[in-house]
Amino acid sequence: MPCRPAASITEFPVSGPGAGPYGITSGPDGALWFTMVHHGRIGRITPDGDTTSHRLEPDTGGPSLIAAGPDGALWFTEFRGHRIGRIGTSGEITSFPLPTPDSGPFGIVAGPDDALWFTEAGADRVGRITTDGRVTEFPLPVTGAFPSAIATGPDDRLWFTMNQANAIGAVTCDGAVTVHALPTPAAAPVGITAGGDGALWFVEIGAGRVGRITTDGRIDEYGLPDPSCRPHAITAGADGDCWFTEWGANRVGRITPDGRIDEYVLPSPSSEPHGIVLGPDGALWTALETGAVARVDPG
C-alpha cells in the first residue's frame, strides 16, 4: 500500500495560554467557531486566520462543546453554568438555564428534528432544546454514567458516550434509550461522530482506542500505537476516514473504515488538542487548549 503524504499543519494563536480553546465546529458563515472554556468566551476564526471573540455574561460558565444549529446560529453548552447558549453569526448571545440543578451540560449536536440535543453529565440525562428555548429532559437508565459527547446517527437516533458507565447510548426523539456496554473495561469513551460508513465512531480516553459501533450495536475496537495517548474527540473527514485528537500525546490521528491508523505530531509541544472538526475548506481544524487553533491539511 502506498504511503500517505505527511499532513501539513498550521497553528493560529487565538488567545492567551489560560483561555483554553476547547470545542470547535464549522459555522454556516464559512468560519470556525470555538469555545474558550476557562475565559468564558466564544471565538471565531476564518480559514485564513482572522480571529474575533465574544465574552459571555457571566464568564464563569465553562463553555465546552459547540455545534451549528438548524437556525443559522451556533449553540454551546456551559458545563459550570448549567446553561445552553446560542450565538448568532453577528455575535448576539442568548442563554437558557436548564431546569435540573447542577446538570453539567457537555455535548451538543443538531438533531434530526430541528432541535438541539445535549448531554447532562452531572444529572444522567439527555436533553433537547428547541430553537426558541423549550427544554425537555430524558433520564438515563444508569446512574453515575457521565454522558459526554453526542452525535446524530444515520438511524435518526442520538448516540452518546457514557464516560463513567463504560458504554455507548442511543436515544430516539421520543426519549427511548438503549445502552451498549463496551467490551474493554475502564475505556471511558468521550468523543463520538457519525462516520461515512453508516456506523458511529468514538474514542476511548481511558484505553487508548478508537471504537466503531453499528446501529444494531455491534462493536469493534482498534488499539492506538500509544495506549496512553488519551484520545479525546473525533470527527468524520471528507474522505471517508475519521480524525481524532490525542490529548495526552500532542497528536492528531486518522483511522480508515477498515482500521488503518496514521498519526501526526502537532508543531507546538504539549499543546493539548481537544475538539476537532472538518472545516469549510476541506481541512481538519482542532482547538489547542494552550491558546491556538490548528489547521490540518491531509495532503
Annotated catalytic residue within 38, 39, 82, 274: 274
Residue 54 appears among annotated catalytic residues: no
Burial of 51 (0-12, 13-18, 19+ CB in 10 A): middle
The DSSP result for 251-267, as a single string, is EEEEE-TT--EEEEE-S
Which position has the grid cell 488519551? 230
Burial class (CB in 10 A: 0-12, 13-18, 19+), 18: exposed
Residues 6+ apart with CB under 8 A from 273: 232, 233, 245, 246, 247, 250, 251, 252, 266, 286, 287, 288, 289, 294
d(CA 88, CA 260): 39
Residues with catalytic function: 274
